[in-house]
Amino acid sequence: MLRILAFDTLQIMHQTILEVEEPEVSRTQELLLSVSYYILKIYIKLRCQEYNFSPPGTTFEREDWAVLAEGVTHLQLWMKPDKGDKSCRATLTSLVLKSAEH
């Protein structure tokens, strides 16, 4: 699953908070967060993370990343539901971006 957020004005990103949840299926979900800058027009990886779910024990993960990215025009979020290619859905319960206009 690939999602892209396009901003109307250049952004300065300070923090990214996200939550993922899986109450039913044991799996390893992959997530890649990238940004594109006005001048470069390519995506630069900010964070790459794996989440291991083992219901009923481990079903929820929360990340709070301090990032500093100036002049951001686009945010790209890519998720693979399971590294082992099980038939399941990628989950993202919450995504919070803290930024200031450039």
Residue 35 pairs in a beta bridge with: 44, 75
Pair type for strands 43-53 and 2-21: unpaired
Segment 55-78 shows an average pLDDT of 93
Residues sharing a CB contact under 8 Å with residue 51, sequence separation 6 or more, in sequence order: 20, 22, 28, 29, 31, 61
Q: Which domain holds residue 66?
A: 2-101
Per-residue confidence at 86, pLDDT binned at 50, 70, 90? confident
Q: For the chain, what percentages of helix, strand and coil (3-state, to nearest 5) are there?
A: 0, 70, 30
Q: Is the pLDDT of residue 41 over 80?
A: no
Instruction: Give the pLDDT score at 38.
Output: 77
Q: Tell me which residue of 71, 72, 79 sits closest to 51, measured CA to CA.
A: 79
- CATH code at 31? 2.60.120
Query: pLDDT digit string (tens) for 27-36?
Result: 999 999 999 9
Q: How many domains does the chain have?
A: 1
